[in-house]
Amino acid sequence: MSSVLDPKVVLVTGASSGIGRATALALSKAGATVAVGGRRADRLEALAQEAPGETLVLDMDVSDPESVREAVDQTVERFGTLDIVVNNAGIMLTGPVLGADTAEWTRMVETNLLGSMYTVHAALPHLLRSRGAVVQISSTSGRISSAGAAVYSATKFGVNAFAEALRQEVTEQGVRVVLVEPGFVSTELADHIADPAHRAAVKAMAESMRTLQPEDIAAAVVYAVTQPDHVAVNEILVRPTDQSR
């Protein structure tokens, strides 16, 4: 087992499945001590059993600022520091604007955009002390908007904008900000789409190509956070080879 990230302490949000789970495992295998946040405690406990290093399970709802503060506080109380935050929690409830359930828009904004902001806000004092890193998991939808994904794309464009402003604020104080933009990844994300036609269309598009695996994105995160302190990998765009846009 590599120890390149020993003794770094990492908090991963949305760690119960997909990219978050794979990233938490990869960081643990690289020697980090990992705190994993999410709302599915059984899955987080299973992850903690699989991870080779010490792992703290946190009941965390990123859309609730108090829950976020408590998770960050618990991590620092347990391990004494916080070096890296991976903002991964997100939902994709796509569909046309006409006739949309706007409650889904609110959920996406609260989880994808505000959730990552709340986590940065709570963690930043600790990251400034440790001269650590923030990893924002965005999407190719944060670069190219498309029909049927207007609000999802809007949240991801927001994540990108927030990341760049944050980078400008903290980079000279030694905190690195990394934006990771995956294309199609084989995860549960599309399963949450309520609109049957749009859910089927997204799944058909994914099935038309060799999609990325969560571990592919985890490898990109590990690459970025294991660079020497004077090297900031600020943006990583990772698409399947078969994905044209």
**Cβ contacts of residue 71 below 8 Å, gap of 6+?**
11, 35, 37, 58, 59, 60, 122
The alpha carbon of 48 is separated from its chain's Cα centroid by a whole number of angstroms, namely: 18
Active-site annotation holder among 79, 152, 157, 162: 152
Helix %, strand %, coil % of the chain (to 5): 50, 15, 35
Catalytic, 223? Answer: no
Distance CA 236, CA 245 (A): 16
Residue 190 token pair:
């599309």
DSSP helix/strand/coil, 184: coil
Backbone angles phi, psi at 237, to 5 degrees: -105, 120
User: What sign does the CA torsion over 119, 177, 184, 152 have?
Assistant: positive
Cβ(55)–Cβ(37) below 8 Å: no
CB atoms within 10 A of CB 135: 25
> So which residues are the catalytic ones?
152
